């Protein structure tokens, strides 16, 4: 099936730094979703993107739907300790009732 490749797999940054991560696919997606998973909890939806080229913000988070529809980017500005967690990109497979997830980017922040 379709696969999503996320990078980097992990990030170790200082508090206050900006963060960038991306997700790529060999196939086209019509929707890109970004989830965050905090320790001991299930993933929670952060941002949903429905249109190629779309740029959407949620507080300090900004995500973009790539023009080719094969990639998406998530940026976090001025990171704070509560940003720690695993960030997943995801996209629904066309014609199938399945959400495909990337491998995740684990974010660690040094205060």
Partner 1 sequence: EAQVTQNPRYLITVTGKKLTVTCSQNMNHEYMSWYRQDPGLGLRQIYYSMNVEVTDKGDVPEGYKVSRKEKRNFPLILESPSPNQTSLYFCASRWVSSYNSPLHFGNGTRLTVT
Q: Which residues bind partner 1 (CB under 8 A)?
A: 1, 4, 6, 9, 31, 33, 40-45, 48, 50, 88, 92, 97-99, 101-104
Q: Are strands 44-49 and 19-25 parallel, antiparallel or unpaired?
A: unpaired
Q: Which is nearer to partner 1, 4 or 19 (CB)?
A: 4
CB of 41 to partner 1, least distance (A): 5
CB of 16 to partner 1, least distance (A): 28
**Ramachandran region of residue 55, left (φ > 0), alpha (ψ -120 to 50) or beta?**
beta
Q: Which is nearer to partner 1, 19 or 49 (CB)?
A: 49
CA angle 37, 41, 43 (to 5 degrees): 35
Rounded to 5 degrees, φ, ψ at 58 are -140, 90
CB atoms within 10 A of CB 97: 6
CB of 111 to partner 1, least distance (A): 25
Q: Which is nearer to partner 1, 89 or 109 (CB)?
A: 89
């Amino acid at each position: 099936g379709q696969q999503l490749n996320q990078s980097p797999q992990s990030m170790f940054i200082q508090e206050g730094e900006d963060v960038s991560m991306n997700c790529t696919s060999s196939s086209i997606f019509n929707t890109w979703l970004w989830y965050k998973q905090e320790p001991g909890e299930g993933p929670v939806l952060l941002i949903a993107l429905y249109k190629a080229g779309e740029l959407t913000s949620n507080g300090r988070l900004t995500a973009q739907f790539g023009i080719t529809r094969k990639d998406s980017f998530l940026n976090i500005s001025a990171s704070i300790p509560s940003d720690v967690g695993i960030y997943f990109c995801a996209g629904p497979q066309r014609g199938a009732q399945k959400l495909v997830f990337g491998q995740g980017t684990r974010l660690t922040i040094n205060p």
